[in-house]
C-alpha cells in the first residue's frame, strides 16, 4: 500500500477525471479495494441542531438569512432532543452523528457550552460524534476535542479560484485556518465540497488538489451534488448527471486512497444503479436520515434495502480510530476565553448572490 500523495497537480487530477469511464472505474475500484473493504459502508446521520438565520452568503445555502427560502428556522436544540435523535440514529444503524449549526463561526458562551455537552452525551452513547459549526479557533477546537469529538466537518466547498464566486463573507484561507486548528487536536478532519454550482472541471480538480495537499489528508471527504433550492442564488443551476458524480467520486478515491468518500447531498436524484456505481468507484460512506440539514435525503429503509441488495455491511463505530475520551466540563483544561473572533470578511459583490438578496427584500417588503 502506497502512502497518500500530497503533490498532485491540477493537470494530473484532470487527466484522471477525464479518462474513458471504463478505465476510470477500473483504476478507482482497484485503488479502493487495496485500501478499503469494498463491501463495507459507513453510515452517518446529519442533524441540524440550529437551523437558518445564518449571516453568511453561501450561494448554495437556503439557511442564509439574506435569501428568501421556505426553510423553517429553529433555535439551538436541547441536549435531550439531540440525545433522542442520536439514539434513533444508532437504532437504525448509524455509527456517527454529525451535528450542524448554521453559524458563521463559534462564539464562546452558553450556546457553545450546550454543544460541548451534546458532544459528551453522544460520545457516551458509543457513537462517533462530528460537528459542523463554522469557523473555530484553536482553543475552541481543543474544547471540542476534550468533550470527546471524533470529527470536525469544514468543507472547502470548491476551488480557491471559484470560492469568491460563491461566498463573499469569508475567504478560502479562513477554511484552511479552521482545518489547521482542528488538526492541532486529535479530532479527525472531514472536508469536501459541492459540484454542480456552475464551476468548471478545473475547479473540481482544484478543490481535490487543495484537499490532497492537506497533510494528513482529511479522514473523510463528502462529495455533494448541488440541490438547487428556490430563493438561493443557485436556484437555476441544472442538476449534474450521474456520470459527473461517478467521475468525481472515482477521482477522489484515486487521489485520496484511504479517506472515507461520502455521498452526501443530492442522493435523492440518484438511482440505485447510480449509487452502486459510486460505491464501485470508491464511495464508502453515506449520510442517512430523511433530511440533510434542510434538503431531502432517501429514507433509511431505502438505504437498508440497497445495502442488502448489494451485499454491503455497515461499519461499526470507531473501526478506524479509537473512541476519544470525554472530559467533563468541570475538569476542563481549556477554559472559555470569551472568544468572539471576527475572521475575514472580503465583502466583494457576487452578482447572483446580490440578485437573490434583492429578490428576498422585495418578497419581505410590507405592502402598504
- The residue among 54 and 281 lying less far from ligand SF4, judged by its C-beta, is 54
Using CA atoms, how far residue 235 sits from 21, 69, 103, 171, in Å, is 30, 10, 22, 23
Q: In terms of DSSP bridges, do strands 151-153 and 188-190 run parallel, antiparallel, or are they unpaired? A: parallel
Q: Does 217 bind ligand SF4 (CB under 6 A)?
A: no
Grid cell for residue 225: 451534488
Is 278 annotated as belonging to a binding site?
no
- The residue among 28 and 182 lying less far from ligand SF4, judged by its C-beta, is 182
- The residue among 16 and 229 lying less far from ligand SF4, judged by its C-beta, is 229
Active-site residue identified among 104, 120, 175, 190: 190
DSSP 96: E
- The residue among 28 and 207 lying less far from ligand SF4, judged by its C-beta, is 207
Active site annotation includes 131: no
**Half-sphere exposure (CA, 13 Å, Cβ side) for 23?**
6
Active-site residue identified among 98, 175, 183, 253: 98
Dihedral through CA 106, CA 107, CA 113, CA 117, nearest 10? 0
Instruction: State how far the Cα of 366 lies from the Cα of 253, in Å rounded to an integer.
Output: 51
Q: Which positions from 46 through 85 interact with ligand SF4, judged by CB under 6 A?
A: 54, 56, 58, 61, 63-64
Q: In terms of DSSP bridges, do strands 285-288 and 291-292 run parallel, antiparallel, or are they unpaired? A: unpaired
Residue 42 beta carbon to ligand SF4: minimum distance, rounded to whole angstroms: 23
The count of residues interacting with ligand SF4 (CB under 6 A) is 9
Count of residues in the chain = 368
Is 190 annotated as belonging to a binding site?
yes
What DSSP string runs through 272-306? HHHHHHHHHTT--EEEESSEETTEE---HHHHHHH
Active site annotation includes 130: yes
Q: Which positions from 87 through 106 interact with ligand SF4, judged by CB under 6 A?
A: 102, 104
Active site annotation includes 262: yes
Residue 271 beta carbon to ligand SF4: minimum distance, rounded to whole angstroms: 27
Instruction: State how far the Cα of 148 lies from the Cα of 171, in Å rounded to an integer.
Output: 29
Residue 172 beta carbon to ligand SF4: minimum distance, rounded to whole angstroms: 14
Active-site residue identified among 143, 183, 247, 262: 262
Q: Does 256 bind ligand SF4 (CB under 6 A)?
A: no
Query: 210 near 156, Cβ under 8 Å?
Result: yes
Active-site residue identified among 33, 34, 54, 253: 54
Q: Which positions from 133 through 152 interact with ligand SF4, judged by CB under 6 A?
A: 134
Is 98 annotated as belonging to a binding site?
yes
DSSP 316: P
Site string for ligand SF4, 116-135 (x = CB under 6 A): ------------------x-
Instruction: State how far the Cα of 69 lies from the Cα of 333, in Å rounded to an integer.
Output: 42
Residues in contact with ligand SF4 by the rule CB under 6 A: 54, 56, 58, 61, 63-64, 102, 104, 134
Active site residues: 54, 58, 61, 98, 130, 190, 262
Amino acid at each position: 500500500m502506497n502512502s497518500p500523495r500530497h503533490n498532485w497537480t491540477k493537470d494530473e487530477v484532470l487527466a484522471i477525471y477525464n479518462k474513458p469511464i471504463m478505465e476510470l472505474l477500473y483504476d478507482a475500484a482497484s485503488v479502493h479495494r487495496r485500501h478499503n473493504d469494498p463491501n463495507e459502508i459507513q453510515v452517518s446521520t446529519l442533524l441540524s441542531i440550529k437551523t437558518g438565520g445564518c449571516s453568511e452568503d453561501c450561494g448554495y445555502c437556503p439557511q442564509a438569512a439574506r435569501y428568501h427560502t421556505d426553510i423553517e428556522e429553529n433555535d439551538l436544540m436541547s441536549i435531550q432532543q439531540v440525545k433522542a435523535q442520536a439514539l434513533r440514529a444508532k437504532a437504525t444503524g448509524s455509527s456517527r452523528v454529525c451535528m450542524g449549526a448554521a453559524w458563521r463561526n463559534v462564539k464562546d458562551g452558553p450556546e457553545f457550552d450546550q454543544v460541548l455537552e451534546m458532544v459528551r452525551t453522544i460520545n457516551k452513547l458509543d457513537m462517533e460524534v462530528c460537528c459542523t459549526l463554522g469557523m473555530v479557533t484553536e482553543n475552541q477546537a481543543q474544547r471540542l476535542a476534550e468533550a470527546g469529538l471524533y470529527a470536525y466537518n469544514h468543507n472547502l466547498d470548491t476551488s480557491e479560484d471559484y470560492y469568491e464566486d460563491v461566498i463573499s463573507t469569508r475567504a478560502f484561507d479562513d477554511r484552511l485556518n479552521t482545518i489547521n486548528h482542528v488538526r492541532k487536536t486529535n479530532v479527525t478532519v472531514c472536508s469536501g465540497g459541492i459540484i454542480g454550482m456552475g464551476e468548471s472541471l478545473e475547479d473540481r480538480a482544484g478543490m481535490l488538489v487543495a484537499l490532497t495537499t492537506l497533510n494528513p489528508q482529511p479522514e473523510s471527504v463528502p462529495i455533494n451534488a448541488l440541490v438547487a433550492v428556490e430563493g438561493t442564488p443557485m436556484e437555476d443551476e441544472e442538476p449534474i448527471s450521474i456520470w459527473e458524480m461517478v467521475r468525481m467520486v472515482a477521482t477522489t478515491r484515486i487521489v485520496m486512497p484511504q479517506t472515507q468518500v461520502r455521498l452526501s447531498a443530492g442522493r435523492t436524484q440518484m438511482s440505485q444503479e447510480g449509487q452502486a456505481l459510486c460505491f464501485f468507484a470508491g464511495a464508502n460512506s453515506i449520510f442517512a436520515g430523511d433530511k440533510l440539514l434542510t434538503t431531502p435525503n432517501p429514507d433509511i429503509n431505502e438505504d437498508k434495502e440497497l445495502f442488502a441488495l448489494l451485499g454491503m455491511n455497515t461499519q461499526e463505530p470507531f473501526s478506524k480510530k479509537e473512541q476519544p475520551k470525554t472530559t467533563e466540563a468541570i475538569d476542563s483544561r481549556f477554559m472559555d476565553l470569551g472568544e468572539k473572533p471576527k475572521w475575514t470578511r472580503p465583502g466583494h459583490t457576487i452578482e447572483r448572490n446580490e440578485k437573490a438578496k434583492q429578490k428576498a427584500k422585495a418578497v419581505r417588503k410590507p405592502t402598504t
